[in-house]
Amino acid sequence: MVKSSTVLQHPMTTAGEGTLVWIGPTRGTTVEQAFEYCVDHAAQVAVRKSLEHWLQTPAERVRWLVVVKPSRNPAPQALIKWMEQSQSVRSACLVGPECEGELRTGSPWPYFENIAWHRWNQTLPSWFQSDTRNPQDHSVHDIQNAVNSKRRLTIGIVATRRENIDALMDSLATRLHTPLWIPSIENPTVHNLDAFIWDDSAMSCATDHEWSTRLQLAQRIMRPEPNHARPRANWIEHVWMPSFPRPHEWENARRGGVGAMISKPFTSCALNDWLNAIDINQPTADVSISLA
């Protein structure tokens, strides 16, 4: 467990100088992956257990500020005053499931951006990109990077209807990957797949046992792992794409073996981050398709 006032330093980081302040819990289904990502990418992370704790013991050289917001509450005036004097700090509230209604009907705290707990990987990665890059060019830049990559993945998309995944298939094809629609995992007609995307039309509110069973069926048609390859970590090849996930649903998916979640509507950045996380030591045999 990370102590409330811990300062974590990352020895090798791609982020610029400065400190990321994380205010609130660091463990739990709705926050731990976002927190671990920040620790991996920020040069330094200062953890505070509450806003009061932060205002009493501020950090130095603050560049980013993340406030875990589990319930509806107004921004303290002391925080607003601090933000008025620190407008170069990029700040966001990680909104928990108890106050997600604010994303539709409310407004963010002054100087803060609201991020739904399940969409952290659609926003936070952009915080650690080069400051010289135009945010409007992210999509074009990311697609060009993917096109220039030597890896070409064959990705099965499990969905009950093809119309649900047309945009996703187009996005993967633009990156020169091969997307294949799989309407039923019980009777697949493809083999040697590198990864799976599970649309919530096929897998919505499932137990961890149901997820584990489905992933075991999928594993039969995954591309064989070569002897020299590194072990696959946490089955990162499987990603779940839900529209409005609940914490217990995501926890069941993780326990069942799913490595990542990208909630809809997905962004180019989140999709590319997942694709780049897939083990690069994949065998290069062509996909085989059965016509039977």
Write down the pLDDT at residue 150: 52
Contact 128, 15 (CB under 8 A): yes
Write down the pLDDT at residue 287: 39
Which of 194, 192, 196, 203 minimizes the C-alpha distance to 181?
196
- Is the bond into 226 cis (omega within 30 degrees of 0)? no
Q: What is the pLDDT along the chain (292 residues), one digit of tens a residue?
A: 443 445 554 444 444 578 999 999 999 999 999 999 999 999 999 999 999 999 899 888 999 999 998 778 888 999 999 999 998 999 999 999 888 777 666 678 899 999 999 999 999 999 987 543 444 444 544 545 544 445 789 999 999 999 989 999 999 999 999 999 999 888 888 888 999 999 999 988 899 999 999 999 998 888 876 554 444 444 578 999 999 899 999 999 999 999 999 999 998 888 988 898 885 434 444 433 333 2
Structure tokens at 253: 């998916």
Q: Rounded to whole angstroms, how far apart are CA atoms 102 and 290?
A: 49
pTM here? 0.79
Contact 225, 184 (CB under 8 A): no
Question: Rounded to the nearest 5°, which phi and psi values hold at 116?
Answer: -60, 145
Contacts 24+ apart (CB under 8 A), 222-230: 222/192, 222/193, 222/194, 222/196, 223/154, 223/192, 223/193, 223/194, 223/282, 223/283, 223/285, 224/192, 224/283, 225/283, 226/281, 226/283, 228/281, 229/279, 229/281, 229/282, 229/283, 230/279, 230/281
Write down the pLDDT at residue 87: 85
Write down the pLDDT at residue 8: 52
Q: Rounded to whole angstroms, how far apart are CA atoms 278 and 164?
A: 24
Q: Rounded to whole angstroms, how far apart are CA atoms 16 and 128?
A: 8
Largest Cα separation within the chain, whole Å, is 68
Q: Rounded to whole angstroms, how far apart are CA atoms 22 and 38?
A: 9
Write down the pLDDT at residue 105: 65
